[in-house]
Amino acid sequence: MEEVSVDDQTRQFFRGRVVCFALAALSVAGCASHGPLASAKVSHAERAVEEAQQVGAATSAPVELRAAQDKLTAAQAAMAKGNHDRAIRDAEQAALDGEYARALAANQRANTIADEMGQYIKVLRQELERLPK
C-alpha cells in the first residue's frame, strides 16, 4: 500500500511536471507565432489609417475613419496587454476599415473632379456655340 502510494505520488509528480512543461511550451509557442504576426497586423492597420487620413477621409468618410481609428486603438491596447489574438482581429478590421475609408475618400474625390470636368465641358460647349461654325 505504502509502495503503491509512493508509486502513485511519483506518477502524479511526473504527470504534473509534464502538464506544466506542455503548458509552458504551448504558451511560448503561442508567443512565438502570434506576437510578430499581431505586431505586423497592427503596423499595417496604422499605415492604413494614416493613408486614409492623408486622402482626406476625415471629411469625406468620417464614420469609417472613426471606426478604423477606434479599432486600431483597441488593437494597440490588446497588443500592449499581450492579447495577440484580439490584437490581430482588431488590427485586421481596423486595416480594412481604413482601406474602406480611403476608398470612399478617393471615390468622392473622383466624383468631384468628374463633376467639375462636366461643368467645364458644359461651359466650353456654350462658348463653342457662341462662335461661328
Partner 1 sequence: MSQRTVQLTRVVAVTGVLSVVVGCAASSQQRAAKAQLERAQAAYQQAQADPNVQAYAQLRLGDAQKALRAAEQAEDSQEKIHLGYLAEKKALLASVTGATSKTEQNMEQLRKETSDVLLQKRDRELKAARIETDAKAREAEQWRRVAEAKARETDQGRRQTDEAEAKALAAEHAKATALANELASLKAQQTDRGMVLTVGDVLFDPGKAQVGPGAQRSIDKLADFLKTYPKRNVVIEGHSDNIGDEDFNVKLSQQRADAVHDLLVARGVAAQRIRTKGYGPKFPVVDNDSAAGRQQNRRVEVLVLNEGLSAEGATR
Q: Which is nearer to partner 1, 28 or 121 (CB)?
A: 121
Q: Which is nearer to partner 1, 3 or 129 (CB)?
A: 129
CB of 97 to partner 1, least distance (A): 7
Task: Pick the closest to residue 88 from 32, 50, 28, 40 (CA basis).
Answer: 40
Q: Which three cell numbers stand for residue 99?
A: 482601406
CB of 49 to partner 1, least distance (A): 14
Q: Which three cell numbers stand for residue 40?
A: 505586423
| Per-position DSSP letters for 58-70, written without gaps between them | HHHSHHHHHHHHH
Helix axes 2-54 and 62-81, enclosed angle (nearest 10)? 150
CB of 127 to partner 1, least distance (A): 6
DSSP E strands in 2-78: the ranges are none
Q: Which is nearer to partner 1, 10 or 119 (CB)?
A: 119
CB of 85 to partner 1, least distance (A): 10
Q: Quote the DSSP letter at residue 56.
A: T
Do residues 97 and 64 lie in contact, with contact meaning Cβ atoms separated by under 8 Å?
yes
Q: By the criterion CB under 8 A, which residues form the site for partner 1?
A: 89, 92-93, 96-97, 99-100, 103-104, 106-107, 110-111, 113-114, 117-118, 120-121, 124-125, 127-128, 131-133
Q: Which is nearer to partner 1, 82 or 118 (CB)?
A: 118
